[in-house]
Chain A
């Protein structure tokens, strides 16, 4: 429930908790996903993937497959030799050596991970190609594989890419140069090795692509977050001019970052369609989705937090070992940048530095998964703040409050050099505590412990950075992404008065159609129901930069607002002419353009556009029609924030963790639609509960994927998650006229440390002081054993090593002890 109220006179469509426009077709089976797009003469594609983690391809014999009925062609990497470019990675940080191997859609000579595409079979139906794929005989010469990123950094490790002579992809840092001195001067330094394990995005709809080549033009339907970027990239790879290439993202059943990429299969279906002159379709299986779609997270974070005994945090250094996997996908090495950018958290820490070392391993490439680097940073900060509080014997909330950037200091430049736009961190924490009832909980906790029931409460006070734009900060001369990151919108008023909004964003579950309709309706003085939002088609509307990084509303929504404002301004001028008033005297009220002070003199937008499209009586200096476009590139990111709390109960005999309560107070600026915000927070928190307790991608030491199905990769279900209590505060951003910030990733960014902190709180009577995710029952039980000092035999999970080295006594006075948690 939300307690933010707006004054009555400000209430329009914006702010209303409207139901999503998108839902009726989706919940009645009328959505149109890639698989629903059926073209005559379509061929199906099956992908032959490497069963080896690392191997040389000795030979590929497709003769038997080609003989099978219904098979049209088999293609290998050699057949695709005419591609103009490999798959892209778009980060080129100035002054940094970046090792980016050529990543061809079909492997050329060697494979780098299980699931690496080696060949494709194209045929008349989906069953025929999958059967025929089993007849393609690929001979591999296995090469030594490396799976553990820290092992990959050791001398003598097998090399994923021999030609580089190292497994290091890049080294990059951000923040205070004099961090070591600051840590040396700190009264207390707490060190931890915090593992943020590999997860998968697992959209309900797996990837899929359909390519149609006709008369020199290519149309690609793809289940993607980024049709516009894909169009640009494929143009270069395939040598098709952008004006002859159309990419359509129809209904997309979730992305969570895993569809923020240009994938091999998209290029291959396009290449095959052109080669065979027939449409070619590929729909990913769930097993492919877990083995060949990019994964996320997979950082090992060596954290050192320094400060004073009375609770002033003065220095934070993090060394991130970033497991990139076998290739560099679109943004693979950039995940560490996202982490570094939010490394100050909500705190005024004088010295903050992050050093990232990227590592190749024989696993699928990592890339964005909801939050993309920011959950990792938030996790390590918020866990370490609790650890620091424990070390100095201070209440963790008091420590937070003591170090929060105060409300009056915004916009606030932090040690990383970035400027937080607005915030009220005490405000969200206050509100969160109102809901939690901490004192009462502590009483209950004490009573329950006497009965052997272990409950704990954990907090996370987070901020994040989203609204991915400002080109001047993230572009080629800034951080070094090789693109601009503005957003576009066209607002078209039709002759009859209904409105089409064309956006350059490309939703995949967020609700852009609903929220953008609300924005446009208010600014144009029309009904929300009279606005349609078109997206995800590069032939409709201006060029765009798509949807990711919680950017759609703060950048794309603002572009819609600006285009709608231009249309409204023009409409006011026409109305003023028709009403014989000054343009400045026209106001939009109750769906009418009327003369201020004379409400009887007015007209609806439909009358104005009749005049605009039959321009017999409009001022001579006004062009006919009623349509405007806006491109918006903000000056800064937007910086949402909030406070989450959860209560967990731990079964100390089995290690099982049950989340019994969740309180989320988020601030993403003024709400356009509170229901959409709640939905995003719910989804984000569940995503984080998944990572903290259930989900983990596991490769064995040979590089075989152990978690290749949803039986093994444990996504939580409704039965595993609590009711989520939500509330908000509203602190406007000065970065856009709507004052809005993003919220799509906030829950995922906020939530995991609250769970870890709660479990530690629950188990503190047993002496558990630290634990790493995922908090599987077995791992929790090991931590309890370890704390009780009766652990026997070798530990079953990697966890034990971290607890043993860093669980207790890893904090000390003065300079960091080099052998305790220092990076290797």
Chain B
């Protein structure tokens, strides 16, 4: 790897990290697991002037119960999420991120802050209606998942703010489904669909569906949710609801998948995820 020249600091406190980030100006970047940033630097698509490495900042990793859900430190590795089954949907999704080597280094905070529309965690947080905490020069603030993702690789986190924790609601009481279509096991999602279904005597009491890589940002498939809520959770109703999966999406195409193909995949995967979540699959 031969990136352009850059400065590097590894501060030992969060305040020092925030200060380094503020002083570093527009081209300063935080470094967490590095599994998105470093490949971009390698091909010189990213050329930060300063890397502020969070690895020495204490207190940024770990998973603990919080308000009936979980508080996950931003520097917590995907592997730790993967191997915490109580996290339910998040654990399942984390187990499918790239390969184990990546999961051992990549972090949940880094993934959310990078906001790659093909990454797994953003849509999961969105569907679970979680939030993140960020800290900047003027203190902490919370950002709901629905307000976090603004555009392709763009979040509402300010340049001098650090994402410190992820508040992931429990998926207990929900049936969960996660369907990810990839060309190779280690690839980014062509399309991903996560589904949460709360059933009451065979009827869909509530449902949430998150879509990965169906736009520049993760999306909620609200049309699917509206179509299924209150309906019987049988194959027919699920299939009908899933037909709405591509509504309101704007999937980016690439050499292996046109937008139309991705819409079609979304409908198929949505049905499968819902069936998985409803236990009818």
Q: Are B184 and A778 in contact (CB under 8 A)?
A: no
The residues in A between 285 and 336 inclusive whose CB is less than 8 angstroms from any CB of B are 285, 287
Complex: chain B residue closest to A713, CB-CB: B255
| A720 in contact with B184 given A712-B255, A778-B258, A796-B258 (CB within 8 Å) | yes
Q: Are A778 and B4 in contact (CB under 8 A)?
A: no
- Docked CA distance A287–B188 (Å): 19
- Docked CA distance A434–B75 (Å): 54
Complex: chain A residue closest to B185, CB-CB: A719
Q: Are B5 and A717 in contact (CB under 8 A)?
A: no
- Docked CA distance A719–B187 (Å): 11
The residues in A between 750 and 805 inclusive whose CB is less than 8 angstroms from any CB of B are 776-778, 781, 793, 796
Q: How far is the CB of A44 from chain B (nearest CB, A)?
A: 10
Q: How far is the CB of A548 from chain B (nearest CB, A)?
A: 29
- Docked CA distance A781–B255 (Å): 15
The residues in A between 370 and 411 inclusive whose CB is less than 8 angstroms from any CB of B are none
**Is B8 interfacial (CB-CB < 8 Å)?**
no
**Is B229 interfacial (CB-CB < 8 Å)?**
no
Residues of B within 8 A of A130 (CB): 2
**Is B268 interfacial (CB-CB < 8 Å)?**
yes
Residues of A within 8 A of B181 (CB): 654, 656, 777
Q: How far is the CB of B236 from chain A (nearest CB, A)?
A: 16
| A716 in contact with B184 given A131-B5, A287-B43, A654-B268 (CB within 8 Å) | yes
Residues of B within 8 A of A127 (CB): 2, 5
Q: How far is the CB of A755 from chain B (nearest CB, A)?
A: 16
Complex: chain B residue closest to A719, CB-CB: B185
Q: Are B2 and A719 in contact (CB under 8 A)?
A: no
Q: Mark B234-275, 1 if CB is under 8 A from A, else 0.
A: 000000000000000000000111101100110011000000
Residues of B within 8 A of A654 (CB): 181, 265, 268-269
Tell me which of B43, B185, B261 contacts A709 (CB under 8 A): B43
**Is A707 interfacial (CB-CB < 8 Å)?**
yes
Q: Are A694 and B183 in contact (CB under 8 A)?
A: yes
Tell me which of A131, A720, A778 contacts B256 (CB under 8 A): A778
Q: Are B256 and A719 in contact (CB under 8 A)?
A: no
Q: How far is the CB of A693 from chain B (nearest CB, A)?
A: 9
Residues of B within 8 A of A716 (CB): 184
- Docked CA distance A776–B2 (Å): 33
Residues of B within 8 A of A706 (CB): 255
- Docked CA distance A127–B6 (Å): 12
**Is B186 interfacial (CB-CB < 8 Å)?**
yes
**Is A698 interfacial (CB-CB < 8 Å)?**
yes
The residues in B between 1 and 55 inclusive whose CB is less than 8 angstroms from any CB of A are 2, 4-5, 39, 43
| A781 in contact with B184 given A127-B2, A698-B255 (CB within 8 Å) | no
- Docked CA distance A347–B187 (Å): 42
Q: How far is the CB of A781 from chain B (nearest CB, A)?
A: 7
**Is A601 interfacial (CB-CB < 8 Å)?**
no
**Is A5 interfacial (CB-CB < 8 Å)?**
no
Q: Are B185 and A717 in contact (CB under 8 A)?
A: yes
**Is A621 interfacial (CB-CB < 8 Å)?**
no
Complex: chain A residue closest to B190, CB-CB: A777
Residues of A within 8 A of B187 (CB): 711, 714
- Docked CA distance A777–B186 (Å): 16
**Is A589 interfacial (CB-CB < 8 Å)?**
no
Q: Are A778 and B261 in contact (CB under 8 A)?
A: yes
User: Among the interface residues A656, A694, A714, A781, which one has the most CB atoms of the partner chain B within 10 A?
Assistant: A714
User: Among the interface residues B39, B256, B268, which one has the most CB atoms of the partner chain A within 10 A?
Assistant: B256
Q: Are B2 and A796 in contact (CB under 8 A)?
A: no
Tell me which of B4, B183, B186, B268 contacts A776 (CB under 8 A): B183
Q: How far is the CB of B212 from chain A (nearest CB, A)?
A: 15
Q: Are A719 and B184 in contact (CB under 8 A)?
A: yes
- Docked CA distance A717–B268 (Å): 25
Residues of B within 8 A of A56 (CB): none
Residues of A within 8 A of B5 (CB): 127, 131
Residues of B within 8 A of A712 (CB): 255
Q: Are B2 and A777 in contact (CB under 8 A)?
A: no
Residues of B within 8 A of A778 (CB): 256-258, 261
Q: How far is the CB of A775 from chain B (nearest CB, A)?
A: 11
Residues of B within 8 A of A719 (CB): 184-186
- Docked CA distance A653–B188 (Å): 20
- Docked CA distance A795–B2 (Å): 40
Q: Are B255 and A707 in contact (CB under 8 A)?
A: yes
Residues of B within 8 A of A796 (CB): 258, 260-261
Residues of A within 8 A of B183 (CB): 694, 714, 776-777
Q: Mark B168-195, 1 if CB is under 8 A from A, else 0.
A: 0000000000000101111110000000
Complex: chain A residue closest to B264, CB-CB: A781
Tell me which of A126, A707, A709, A793 contacts B2 (CB under 8 A): A126
Residues of A within 8 A of B258 (CB): 778, 796
Q: Are A720 and B257 in contact (CB under 8 A)?
A: no
Q: How far is the CB of A192 from chain B (nearest CB, A)?
A: 24
Residues of A within 8 A of B255 (CB): 698, 706-707, 712
Q: Mark A699-712, 1 if CB is under 8 A from B, else 0.
A: 00000001101011
Residues of B within 8 A of A720 (CB): 184-185
Residues of A within 8 A of B99 (CB): 717
Q: Are A694 and B261 in contact (CB under 8 A)?
A: no
Residues of A within 8 A of B261 (CB): 777-778, 781, 796
Q: How far is the CB of A452 from chain B (nearest CB, A)?
A: 13
User: Among the interface residues A706, A716, A796, which one has the most CB atoms of the partner chain B within 10 A?
Assistant: A796
Residues of A within 8 A of B185 (CB): 717, 719-720
- Docked CA distance A717–B255 (Å): 20
Complex: chain A residue closest to B1, CB-CB: A285
Complex: chain A residue closest to B179, CB-CB: A654
Residues of B within 8 A of A126 (CB): 2
Residues of A within 8 A of B2 (CB): 126-127, 130, 285
Residues of A within 8 A of B43 (CB): 287, 709
The residues in A between 681 and 731 inclusive whose CB is less than 8 angstroms from any CB of B are 694, 698, 706-707, 709, 711-712, 714, 716-717, 719-720
Q: How far is the CB of A290 from chain B (nearest CB, A)?
A: 11
Complex: chain B residue closest to A796, CB-CB: B258
- Docked CA distance A792–B7 (Å): 53
Q: How far is the CB of A596 from chain B (nearest CB, A)?
A: 61
- Docked CA distance A127–B4 (Å): 8
- Docked CA distance A716–B184 (Å): 7
Residues of B within 8 A of A698 (CB): 255
Q: How far is the CB of B242 from chain A (nearest CB, A)?
A: 11
User: Among the interface residues A285, A711, A712, A778, which one has the most CB atoms of the partner chain B within 10 A?
Assistant: A778
- Docked CA distance A299–B39 (Å): 33
User: Among the interface residues A126, A130, A716, A777, which one has the most CB atoms of the partner chain B within 10 A?
Assistant: A777
Q: Mark A124-157, 1 if CB is under 8 A from B, else 0.
A: 0011001100100000000000000000000000
Q: How far is the CB of B193 from chain A (nearest CB, A)?
A: 12
- Docked CA distance A712–B254 (Å): 9
- Docked CA distance A793–B261 (Å): 12
The residues in B between 145 and 202 inclusive whose CB is less than 8 angstroms from any CB of A are 181, 183-188
Complex: chain B residue closest to A797, CB-CB: B258
Residues of B within 8 A of A793 (CB): 260
The residues in A between 205 and 220 inclusive whose CB is less than 8 angstroms from any CB of B are none
Residues of B within 8 A of A717 (CB): 99, 184-186
The residues in B between 90 and 126 inclusive whose CB is less than 8 angstroms from any CB of A are 99
- Docked CA distance A656–B187 (Å): 14
Q: How far is the CB of A240 from chain B (nearest CB, A)?
A: 31
9 A-B contacts (beta carbon < 8 Å): A127-B2, A694-B184, A707-B255, A711-B187, A717-B186, A720-B185, A776-B256, A777-B257, A796-B260
Other 4 A-B pairs with CB < 8 A, given A711-B39, A714-B187, A796-B258: A127-B5, A698-B255, A776-B256, A777-B257
Using CB atoms and an 8 Å cutoff, list the residues of chain B in contact with chain A.
2, 4-5, 39, 43, 99, 181, 183-188, 255-258, 260-261, 264-265, 268-269
Using CB atoms and an 8 Å cutoff, list the residues of chain A in contact with chain B.
126-127, 130-131, 134, 285, 287, 653-654, 656, 694, 698, 706-707, 709, 711-712, 714, 716-717, 719-720, 776-778, 781, 793, 796
What 4 A-B pairs come out closest when comparing CB atoms?
Answer: A719-B185, A796-B258, A653-B268, A130-B2
